[in-house]
């Protein structure tokens, strides 16, 4: 997928108290992307995954964007699931 460098995390679960599937992905994005490009990349990933996930699944996409090219995107910014 354009602008997605890595997908270092994919988690599958069910919501508490329901059987609704939840898919969480972390995607590594290049640091030079504009905010508009980040939003577009997230939307494309979310749409693609929602087409592959069970019907009605919640799909959450977390972006990792490094501050510079020398820093791996997976090492920075979002660690909400950990």
Q: Tens-digit pLDDT profile for the chain (82 aa)?
A: 778 877 878 888 888 888 899 999 988 888 878 888 888 889 999 999 999 999 999 999 988 876 666 655 554 444 434 4
The answer to whether residue 26 sits within a structural domain is: yes
Domain tally, the chain: 1
Tokens 């494309």 belong to residue: 44
The answer to whether residue 50 sits within a structural domain is: yes
Judging by beta carbons within 10 Å of its beta carbon (0-12, 13-18, 19+), is residue 27 exposed, middle or buried?
Answer: buried
H or E stretch including 63? strand 58-65
The pLDDT, as a whole number, for residue 5 is: 79
Please state, in angstroms and rounded to a whole number, the distance separating the CA atoms of residues 1 and 44.
8
The pLDDT, as a whole number, for residue 46 is: 93
State the CATH number of the domain containing residue 25. Answer: 3.30.70
The pLDDT, as a whole number, for residue 66 is: 63
Tokens 């988690």 belong to residue: 11
The answer to whether residue 23 sits within a structural domain is: yes
The pLDDT, as a whole number, for residue 32 is: 79
Domain region containing 70? 6-75
């Amino acid at each position: 997928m354009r602008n997605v460098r890595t997908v270092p995390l994919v988690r599958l679960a069910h919501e508490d108290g329901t059987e609704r599937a939840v898919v969480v992905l972390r995607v590594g994005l290049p640091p030079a992307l504009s905010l508009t490009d980040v939003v577009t990349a997230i939307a494309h990933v979310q749409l693609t995954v929602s087409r592959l996930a069970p019907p009605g699944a919640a799909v959450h996409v977390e972006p990792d964007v490094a501050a510079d090219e020398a820093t791996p995107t997976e090492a920075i910014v979002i660690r909400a699931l950990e």
